Amino acid sequence: MSEKKYWDEALETLPRAELEKRQLKDLKVIVQFAYENAPYYKRSFDEAGVKPEDIQTLADIQKLPFIDKTTQRDTQGVGSFLGELCAVPEEEVIFISTSSGSTGVPTMSPFTKKDFDEFQDAESRWFWQIGMRPKDRYVHALNFSLYVGGPDVIGAQNLGALCIWGGTLPSERLLYVLKTYQPTIIWTSPSYAWHLGETAMKNGIDPKKDLAIKKIIVAGELGGSIDSTRKAIEDLWGAEVFDFYGLSDIFGACAAMCEAKDGLHIAEDHILVETIDLKTGEILPPGEVGELVYTTLRKHARPLLRFRTGDIGWIDNTPCSCGRTHGRIHINGRKDDMFIVSAVNVFPSDIEAVIRDIKGITGEYLVRIFEKDYTCKYSVEIERNADNAEPDERIEALVSDALKARIGVKPSDVKVHPDGGLNTRSEHKSKRIIDERN
């Protein structure tokens, strides 16, 4: 079994026409189910003048109204504990996770037993896709407290790997685990993968020589899909880095890199993906950048029909060299994080890509967004390497010019700190953007 390439070859290599045929069948079922069982969908469909039987093709999805985080918050707890978006009685729900609440009130994500089991099978698919096998020892270094990524470890257990439920251990304790048990795979955030590697070196542990980590899974931030960030982590650890993408609104990892590392294959048997124009809401063709909109095709506890994610990116449906036919999503950033300077759309991920690629600085950074003379501006703070003897002015000019070349607009200011002076390193997600606009 461990020699096979795919976790589920028939599903993962399904011809595009057959995959879309399957999606349409599941879409019709879930739309009917949501209409009949979730009070919110019954009301919103009726107000929009649409019926479940109006969905006869995948393109008919655009007849349905959008929902978003505000919809979730407004309906949560209304009429029942799980709210008006829930389509099953509470006694059928066996697990709930919650969002972080970083953009408002945390929202619950309920699962039936079938929802949860299918969620874990998808996790097994992603683990197998990046090369995990039963012989591997795996450390799951993610938060287990209400976080939807916590249970993903079950997908690794179902695959047959030896699993260590690390959780959010302090760095010194986690390094003890890595050195003592010699696991081969770990999952954490990009920021923490970098921080943990640096901490290891400062404690006399060479990740390449003293540890057995061969693959690092990262998620929760965009770093894993930024070539320069991924390479920096790989060089530090001597290990391959694979990016995963998930949403508490749906389930743990919904998409993952394969060996080609050209975007993240999304579970199109579970999720129908649309890309829409940010201003008009019109559907864009594959390959064009817009807001990603997801419809859950098989999740019954709380179906999400045309959920606006707030993620800006695009989907590539062209064949992948790995042989998998499910589309690959590319995330540029969050709609909430994007800012406009001199008519140029700027994403923090673009800034990170530049910073991580410059020699002589640590790769840590902080971006401040502010208004001056009624115009949006940004400044960047970075750290010099301890052994970098270049004057601050030279480093500032180097960073400023590199940002201008990549993004199109210079920062108003670049400030240089000593190594460790920024205090942006984190054992979870790092806070790197400070918006000082009113």
Tens-place pLDDT, residues 160-186:
999 999 998 999 999 999 999 999 999
Domain spans of the chain, in order of start: 7-333, 339-435
Residue 267 has pLDDT above 70, yes or no: yes
- Contact between 363 and 232 under an 8 Å Cβ cutoff? The reply is yes
345 — pLDDT class (breaks 50, 70, 90): confident
Within a 13 Å sphere around the CA of 220, how many CA atoms are in the beta-carbon half?
25
> Could you tell me the CA-to-CA distances from 119 to 148, 156, 201, 247, 320 in Å, in that order?
10, 12, 37, 12, 23
Query: What is the rounded CA–CA span in Å between residue 5 and residue 438?
Result: 52
CA separation for the pair 10, 264 (Å, rounded): 19
For residue 336, pLDDT over 80 is answered with no
Average pLDDT over residues 7-35: 98
Give bridge partners of residue 401 from the DSSP assignment.
Answer: none
Contacts of 3 by beta carbon, 8 Å cutoff, 6+ apart: none
Q: E strands along 63-188, which residues?
A: 93-98, 108-112, 137-140, 162-164, 185-188
SS3 235: helix
Residue 383 contacts residue 416 (beta carbons within 8 Å)? yes
Architecture of domain 339-435: 2-Layer Sandwich (3.30)
pLDDT band at 373 (very low <50, low <70, confident <90, very high): confident
Fold designation for 7-333: Rossmann fold (3.40.50)
Do 422 and 365 meet the contact criterion of CB atoms below 8 Å apart? yes
Give residue for tokens 């909109």: 293
39, 56 contact by CB (below 8 A):
no
- Which tokens go with 315? 């989907």
pLDDT band at 152 (very low <50, low <70, confident <90, very high): very high
Quick count: other Cβ atoms within 10 Å of Cβ 21? 12
Residue 410 DSSP symbol:
-
- Identify the DSSP state of 250: T
**CA angle, 359 as apex, 356 and 362 as ends, to 5°?**
55
